[in-house]
Chain A
Amino acid sequence: MIDVQAIRKDFPFFEANPDLVYFDNGATTLKPQCVIDAVTSFYTRHTSNVHRGDYAIAAENDRLYDGARSSFAKLLNCSPKEIVFTHNATASMNQIAYGLAHGFLKKGDVILTTEAEHASNLLPWFRLKEDYGIEVRYLPMDAQANLDLKAAETCFTPEVKAVAAALVTNVLGSILPVKELAAMAHKHGALFIADGAQAVPHMKIDVQDLDIDFLAFSAHKMCGPDGVGILYGKYDLLERMEPVFMGGDMNARFQKACTYELKHAPTKFEAGTPNIEGVIGAAAACDYLMQIGLDEIHAYEKELRAYFLEKLSALENIVIYNPDNEYGPLAFNDREVFSQDAAGYLAAKNIAVRSGNHCAKILHEIIGTDSTIRASLYFYNTKEEVDRCVKVCSEISLENAVGIFF
């Protein structure tokens, strides 16, 4: 089991903010010292571009940058050459969408997704509809964003060529029956694309076991730096796929006559100078999580979430939208106070949560409310922090919410 007090010592944030309860891990996560050190060592020791220099520190830099693929390959159980570094999960998802539109899909083809998705797994598809006439349809879900597999099967008409869904949804934390859905997609000749932004940091995701074709997630939600996204793709699919960006490092050669030849995956997807220190820091984060153990992290968070749910459910002023989901954030509201006002009161009491629609702007079709408070946990959070949060939640009222301004 996780020794949470020992783990908290790895995070200088807690020393800098001793009174703050940070429950906004669905938005971004805190950084351990080893990640901070990995990033700063690029600035202090081996500053250089990648794949370009003939000197020793450049070679060290290349080793660390390309070595980062091995860390993520180990995390996902894939080959290092199946790991592409992008700038965030959104960039990964846009690369997948662009790639599918150029050589994989044609007008009239259908992408299946869900109403619980984050904007990054909807708007890229909306654009394919607009630009290429590729249709978007939604898989059926219940009020807590859980997929009905039986009903899903009926959605697979011959035009369906891809399924794109979050492994864990970002507001309700529902877990996709990913293995079954991927198998169903493949049975019907469709690709399976996973948004792993809220899943990969919190549980063991084995892309081979689950048979995922493409996976997108970001480093900053798993204790890594901002500005680094990861795109996993099965190698033959990556080789078939066109890159969004063209430019330096990704080309093998080009001629005056506007002809060119690209490098192989993953390099062909990494045009221009990448976020080198970010990628090196992301690998440090990846190694850090694997050292703690993804299964341990998952078990600890599940227990902490159950404790949080039990305490919060006891409050009469609070309505919870996802009580039956075993995992992920708690989405709730005070019965009388608008979510942003309630979150403002929590903030005044040093509890950091997010309010609003959390970039899942069609989710209200499922849960029937436009905006919620989202408290999202990570393995460094504690039961004491949950107790503090629940106590402040019990005190939410219009008087108190407006009172913070006086």
Chain B
Amino acid sequence: MSEYENLLDDPMVLRELIMDHYKYPHNHSLVDDMRYRRAHMSSESCIDDITVQADIEDGVIKDIRFDGVACTISTASTSIMSDLLKGKTVEEASDLINEYMNMVDGKEYDAAKLEEAVAMKNVYRQANRIKCATIGWNAMKQMIAESEGEQ
């Protein structure tokens, strides 16, 4: 294990990571730009109401933005997702989304690929929070599917 992987195995580090992404979310503002597609996620749960934007061009995710009212897990998981998937091809992103979904469902997954997103690895223990941990990821999945449908 590398030092980085060791760090991502430390519960205290993972907790700090979630808190940090919640207090200071990355990519946390929407842009008024026609190139971005948009997914408004509010129907999954009573509380969370977030919008995710993605600029997908030539099969590459050039940028991801998000904003809205959401809990710690929703905000942090979406913030981490925006960092991880930005710059990836849609194939790479789809693969990472699959790995992530496996993790939050309590199935086998490749921790090394998911980097900081492993902070969400225990969310499956609180079944009602799985939708929080997947809201932003599902938004991204939806936008990738839309972008592929248009080609």
Q: Which residues of A contact B (CB under 8 A)?
A: 337-341, 344, 347, 355-357, 359, 370-371, 398-399, 401-406
In the complex the two chains form, what is the Cα distance from A338 to B68 in whole Å? 13
Asked whether B22 is an interface residue with its Cβ less than 8 Å from the other chain, the reply is yes
B93: interface (CB < 8 Å): no
Q: Say whether A406 contacts B47, CB under 8 Å.
A: no
Q: 8 A-B pairs, CB-CB below 8 angstroms? A: A338-B71, A339-B71, A356-B46, A371-B69, A398-B22, A398-B72, A402-B18, A405-B122
Measured CB to CB, the closest approach of chain B to A33, in angstroms, equals 29
* Nearest A residue (CB) for B14: A406
Contact B122 A344 (CB under 8 A): no
Shortest beta-carbon distance from A349 to chain B in Å = 13
Report Cα–Cα, A338/B22, bound state, in Å: 11
Smallest beta-carbon distance A336→chain B, Å: 10
> Is B125 among interface residues, defined by CB-CB distance under 8 A?
yes
Contact, CB under 8 Å: B47 / A339 = yes
Is there an interface contact between A344 and B11, defined as CB atoms closer than 8 Å? Answer: no
How far does the alpha carbon of A347 sit from the alpha carbon of B127 in the complex, in Å?
Answer: 12
Centre residue among A337, A341, A355, A405 by max chain B CB count within 10 A: A405
Q: Which residues of A contact B125 (CB under 8 A)?
A: 405
B129 touches which one: A344, A370, A398 (CB < 8 A)?
A344
- Given contacts A398-B19, A399-B19, whether A406 and B11 have CB atoms under 8 Å apart is yes
- Nearest to A339 among chain B residues (CB) is B47
* Residue in A337, A371, A399 whose beta carbon sits within 8 Å of that of B47 in the complex: A371
A340 touches B71 (CB 8 A): yes
Smallest CB–CB gap between A251 and chain B, Å? Answer: 39
Indicate whether A402 sits within 8 Å of B46 (C-beta atoms), given known contacts A338-B71, A344-B126.
no
Whether B46 pairs with A357 at a CB distance below 8 angstroms is yes
Task: Say whether B15 contacts A403, CB under 8 Å.
Answer: yes
Q: Is the CB of B143 closer than 8 A to any CB of chain A?
A: no
Question: Quick check: B72 and A406 within 8 Å, CB to CB?
Answer: no
Interfacial residues, chain B to chain A (CB-CB below 8 A):
11-12, 14-15, 18-19, 22-23, 45-47, 49, 69-73, 120, 122-123, 125-126, 129, 132
Residue with the highest number of chain B CB atoms closer than 10 Å, among A340, A341, A356: A340
Q: Which of A371, A401, A406 has the most CB of B within 10 A?
A: A406
The CA of A344 and the CA of B123, in the complex, are separated in Å by 11
> Cα distance A401–B19 when bound, in Å?
10
Tell which of A359, A370, A371, A401 touches B72, judged by Cβ atoms closer than 8 Å.
A401
**Are A341 and B72 neighbours in the complex by a CB distance under 8 Å?**
yes
Say how far A364's CB is from chain B's closest CB, in angstroms. Answer: 10
Bound form: Cα–Cα A406–B132 in Å? 17
Chain B residues within 8 Å of A344, by CB: 126, 129
Say whether B47 contacts A405, CB under 8 Å: no
Q: How far is the CB of B98 from the nearest CB of chain A, in Å?
A: 22
Give the distance to chain B from A303, nearest Cβ to Cβ, in Å. Answer: 31
Residue of B nearest to A347 (CB): B126
List the B residue with the shortest CB-CB distance to A361: B46
A406 to B15, CA, bound (A): 7
Instruction: Contact check, B123 vs A340: say whether CB atoms are below 8 A apart.
Output: no
Given contact pairs A340-B132, A341-B71, A355-B47, A402 touches B126 in the complex (Cβ within 8 A): no
- Return the 9 tightest CB-CB contacts between A and B, nearest first: A406-B11, A356-B46, A340-B71, A405-B122, A338-B71, A341-B72, A356-B47, A402-B18, A371-B47
Inter-subunit contact B72/A402 (CB<8 Å): yes
Shortest CB–CB separation between residue B46 and chain A, in angstroms? 4
B126 touches A406 (CB 8 A): no
Alpha-carbon distance A204/B131, docked complex (angstroms): 40
Determine the chain B residues whose CB is within 8 A of the CB of A403 once the complex forms: 15
CA distance A355 to B15 in the complex (A): 22
Known: A398-B23, A405-B15. 9 other contacts (CB 8 A): A338-B71, A339-B47, A340-B47, A341-B73, A356-B45, A371-B46, A402-B19, A402-B22, A406-B12
* Bound complex: CA A355 to CA B72 (Å): 14
Inter-chain contacts of A359 with B (CB < 8 A):
46
Residue of A nearest to B12 (CB): A406
Of all chain B residues, which has the CB nearest A338?
B71
Shortest CB-to-CB span from B43 to chain A, Å, is 12
Task: Report if A404-B72 is in contact (Cβ < 8 Å); known contacts: A339-B47, A398-B22, A399-B15.
Answer: no
